[in-house]
Structure 1
Amino acid sequence: MTLGTKHSRLTSLALRTLLSFFAVLFILQPATASTYTPPPTQNEADFQKWVTDFKKQALKQGISQKTLNIAFKDVHLNLRVLELDRRQPEFAQTFWQYFNRAVTSWRIVKGKFFLQKYHSELSEVTKKYGVPERFLVAFWGMETNFGGYTGNTPIIESLATLSYDDRRSNFFTKELISALEILDQGNVTVDEMKGSWAGAMGQCQFMPSNYLKYAVDGDNSGTKDLWNSLPDVFNSMGNFLEKLGWQRGENWGREVALPKGFDLTLADGKTKHPLAYWQKLGIKLADGRALPNEVMDAALVLPYDYRGPAFLVYDNYFVIKRWNNSDSYALAVAHLADRLVGRPGLTKTQPKDDRSLSHQQIIELQDRLKRDHYDIRVLDGIIGGKTRQAVRNYQINNNLPPDGYPSYRMLEILRKNQGE
């Protein structure tokens, strides 16, 4: 199949429908009826007043009156978007829960299919930007299930709603201006500009500002269509990753095996050392072979507790995290990319006692650590660096493997040690 024109499409309508079914289960939540009750100051009349004032600012920033008229013709305050923005997840997914939903047999099979189907087109992108084909397909699969579901929320309405709201107004106002610039450039129509509730667009889910910076007209049609043109999608992803610092010819990392009694405090996921340094500490590849004699720096990542997998990661791993600053996301993309070219699965498996923490249970864990005089300043129910360090310090002081992983298992240990 040739992808040289704008009329080149990802798949048949039937396949897109099938892909969207699976994607809905995992990726994006459409903005439908809302149960969110806004404060009295947030209402449709006040929102429309905000829109009127915003249009004046947009005109001053170079957005055409014609675009503003078309873009805001049927825009209303979207309460569902506000609800999703404020929704605190009831449970914090564990690494295994996230990973097993991301790297599925279905996604591996489909990824291999598309990797072969679009090999010639992908290889051209690889030559131009240095990003291997398997990573382009892995990102594509992770973001929208290979274009099967790109979101159905009107972007202008979602960004206008989030700009009107005080919580992150400055950020989303800039994104709204960027979205209007995209419309002004004629790259897409208002009706076509749909995506996630938070404003991410197209098959690679770019925010509008990233679209303006990194989107590429890969098929030389005169527009940058991240919804329908695979040349545009593939080239835009390659350009984005190159600009983020992708290193040509380098891998992302490797699963490794840690020796018995290894100092887990070294697994901070940040501090880099030469491979020779890690080799001297007894780290081997996951299959038992010695680490390669390459002159490369690597950091050690332990995404779960001491029973989970360990990874030595290189510069390109941190490039993946610049796309989405999550170890679980980065490891899922990287491992999916490896599986697409026949590399083996992880050597570790999900423990039977793997269990997510609810928001209230995270608060309880933080509270119990604070009671024992560990540095927890705010009981916010959010697992951040402070909470992880407090867990690690508690583990060190109680002769536990210092993996720093806040888990339900650790909560039960705290309960037991505190006599409750």
Structure 2
Amino acid sequence: MGIRVIASGLIVLGSWASADAVKDSPRPVVRADIQSDIAQGSLSLVSLIAPQKSLRPALRPLMPAAPADLVPASVQAGFDDWIRGFRTRALRQGIAGDVFDRALNGARYDADVIRRDRNQSEFTKTIWDYLDSAASPARIQNGKDALRKNAAVLDRIEAKFGVDKDVIVAIWGLESAYGTFRGSSPVIGSLATLAYDGRRGAFFEAELMDALRILQSGDVTPNNLTGSWAGAMGHTQFIPSSYQRLAVDFTGDGKRDIWSDDPSDALASTANYLAKNGWVKGAPWGVEVRIPDGFDYLLASREIKKMPSDWAKLGVVGLDGTAVNDYGQASVLLPAGANGAAFLIFKNFDVIETYNTADAYVIGVGHLSDRITGGGPIQTDWPREDRALSFKERKEMQRLLTAKGFDTKKIDGKIGPLTINAVRRFQRSVGDRPDGYASLRILQKLR
């Protein structure tokens, strides 16, 4: 599940499959990438121009797959040797030999998967471009239709798991365009290629092992075990390990089937995932707010939480000028800095974030769910004159900040908390508002 965001309002389009992100949290999505110094997510084939498609952003236009005969014989031979070694490890972990052989006999190294995995950091979108698609008129209308068409099962899911049905539908909409783009890549082959590749081999080998356990359980056949190129599956793009922990058989047919045309098990599994991560039914994910003149932008931090009534004493109020209801402790989020929309975000923001750590994804899910149930658009203008920084420019910004004494700790092109704090320190040194927004203007000042 999608993008690699950046609290500075830029999205790095990449695959959820990034190990850094997934390793520390039991998330169902691919999308799910980053933790600490980066917020990412990703996946599924997506066109940000065609709002009817999945909105797990793809890092680049789709590349044609490499024909099998273009894979060097030595690479395929090495892959075959790895499969034989992995078979021994799989059987030691309880995978039946016949299950393994049916799944992996004849498996081919997929060079296209590796190309996609290698090129995740280069392409960026601004948060407003992402949200234009996440809550496009077509996606909103399709969400209303999906909510109405599946009302009976969604009502039962909401009652059982205590998760608001419009949020479940919004995740469904962003992950697979309401089941339209579930992915058709063979999950076993993709995961085997990524595990053999070695760059994040241990992570993908564990996911492959869980995919084999799914087959062994009888929930799905090898031919139907399909998903994204990085192994995310079904209507709401679970990775195998999250499926193993959190998928449910809501239909009662003895299978946790998130792949079929009937979305019941997938939607219930998503509700179970959110519930297990602490969903608060009836509470908002966030509320758009006004920031007063003279606001101390150092307070706009996820670590600083106050009740909305206390924020109101500092001038942070709803768009109607009154205090936001005290739904619980909230932080101020400025996804595009001081010149864009501002939000008070609550516990449910954190819960959606466990599904995909990208701020833009979380805002996309929350805002789409609001629009599906009749809410209005985001009111504050975005700084649409800004463009996203390229991967090369982000690394340049980090180098320049560090050279000037504002250490970013890493030069990796990922605009996470460390880089944002460095930007803030630089902004204060030159008399700018310290909103941490890593913009082209900041890069030009650094130059």
Q: TM-score, normalised by structure 2?
A: 0.83
Task: Give the superposition deviation at 1:409.
Answer: 2.2
Q: Secondary structure at the match of 1:273?
A: coil
Which range moved further: 316-325 or 249-258?
A: 249-258
Q: Deviations over 1:115-152 (max 9, x none)?
A: 11211211110010111110010000010000000112
1:165 to 190, 193, 197: 197
Task: Give the superposition deviation at 1:368.
Answer: 2.3
Is the Cα contact below 8 Å between 1:31 and 1:197 reproduced in 2?
Answer: no
Task: Give the superposition deviation at 1:302.
Answer: 0.9
1:230 counterpart = 2:263? yes
1:188 counterpart = 2:220? yes
Alignment correspondent of 2:430: 398
Equivalent-residue separation in structure 1 for 2:351 and 2:335 (angstroms)? 17
Alignment correspondent of 1:247: 280
Task: Give the superposition deviation at 1:107.
Answer: 0.4
1:290 counterpart = 2:323? yes
1:340 counterpart = 2:372? yes
1:23 to 48, 53, 57: 53
Q: Deviations over 1:11-47 (max 9, x none)?
A: xxxxxxxxx9942686458784249xx9999711011
Q: Secondary structure at the match of 2:330?
A: strand
Alignment correspondent of 1:261: 294
Equivalent-residue separation in structure 2 for 1:216 and 1:30 (angstroms)? 32
Equivalent-residue separation in structure 2 for 1:30 and 1:208 (angstroms)? 24
Alignment correspondent of 1:137: 169
Shift in CA distance, 42/366, structure 1 to aligned 2, threshold 3 Å = farther
Alignment correspondent of 1:51: 83
Alignment correspondent of 2:149: 117
Equivalent-residue separation in structure 2 for 1:240 and 1:374 (angstroms)? 39
1:23 maps to a residue whose letter is K
1:274-285 correspondence runs (5 A): 274-285=307-318
Equivalent-residue separation in structure 2 for 1:408 and 1:304 (angstroms)? 12
1:374 counterpart = 2:439? no
Task: Give the superposition deviation at 1:381.
Answer: 2.2
Equivalent-residue separation in structure 2 for 1:48 and 1:284 (angstroms)? 61
1:324 counterpart = 2:353? no
1:266 maps to a residue whose letter is L
Is the Cα contact below 8 Å between 2:99 and 2:216 reproduced in 1?
Answer: yes
Task: Give the superposition deviation at 1:259.
Answer: 0.7
Q: Secondary structure at the match of 1:93?
A: strand
Q: Secondary structure at the match of 2:312?
A: helix
Shift in CA distance, 189/329, structure 1 to aligned 2, threshold 3 Å = same
Q: Secondary structure at the match of 1:55?
A: helix
Q: Which runs of 5+ in 1 are unaligned?
A: 1-19, 416-420
Equivalent-residue separation in structure 2 for 1:27 and 1:96 (angstroms)? 14
Equivalent-residue separation in structure 1 for 2:72 and 2:298 (angstroms)? 49
Q: Deviations over 1:80-103 (max 9, x none)?
A: 111111114323322212222222
Is the Cα contact below 8 Å between 2:420 and 2:438 reproduced in 1?
Answer: yes
Equivalent-residue separation in structure 2 for 1:311 and 1:171 (angstroms)? 35
| Greater RCO structure (CA 8 Å; 6+ sep) | 2
1:271 counterpart = 2:298? no
Which range moved further: 356-365 or 88-97?
A: 88-97
Equivalent-residue separation in structure 1 for 2:356 and 2:318 (angstroms)? 26
Equivalent-residue separation in structure 1 for 2:320 and 2:74 (angstroms)? 58
Is the Cα contact below 8 Å between 1:298 and 1:313 reproduced in 2?
Answer: yes
Is the Cα contact below 8 Å between 2:71 and 2:111 reproduced in 1?
Answer: no
Is the Cα contact below 8 Å between 1:317 and 1:330 reproduced in 2?
Answer: yes
What percent of counterpart residues are identical? 39
Alignment correspondent of 1:65: 97
Q: Secondary structure at the match of 2:338?
A: coil
Equivalent-residue separation in structure 1 for 2:251 and 2:286 (angstroms)? 33
Q: Which runs of 5+ in 2 are unaligned?
A: 1-49
Task: Give the superposition deviation at 1:276.
Answer: 2.4
Equivalent-residue separation in structure 2 for 1:392 and 1:94 (angstroms)? 20
Number of equivalences: 393
Equivalent-residue separation in structure 2 for 1:131 and 1:313 (angstroms)? 17
Is the Cα contact below 8 Å between 2:339 and 2:382 reproduced in 1?
Answer: no
Alignment correspondent of 2:23: none
Alignment correspondent of 2:186: 154
Q: Secondary structure at the match of 1:23?
A: coil
Task: Give the superposition deviation at 1:209.
Answer: 0.8
Is the Cα contact below 8 Å between 2:287 and 2:345 reproduced in 1?
Answer: yes
2:137 to 88, 91, 105: 105
Shift in CA distance, 352/313, structure 1 to aligned 2, threshold 3 Å = closer
Equivalent-residue separation in structure 1 for 2:66 and 2:341 (angstroms)? 40
Q: CA RMSD in A?
A: 2.2
Q: Secondary structure at the match of 1:312?
A: strand
Alignment correspondent of 1:14: none
1:293-304 correspondence runs (5 A): 294=326, 296-304=328-336
Is the Cα contact below 8 Å between 1:30 and 1:151 reproduced in 2?
Answer: no
Equivalent-residue separation in structure 2 for 1:172 and 1:160 (angstroms)? 7
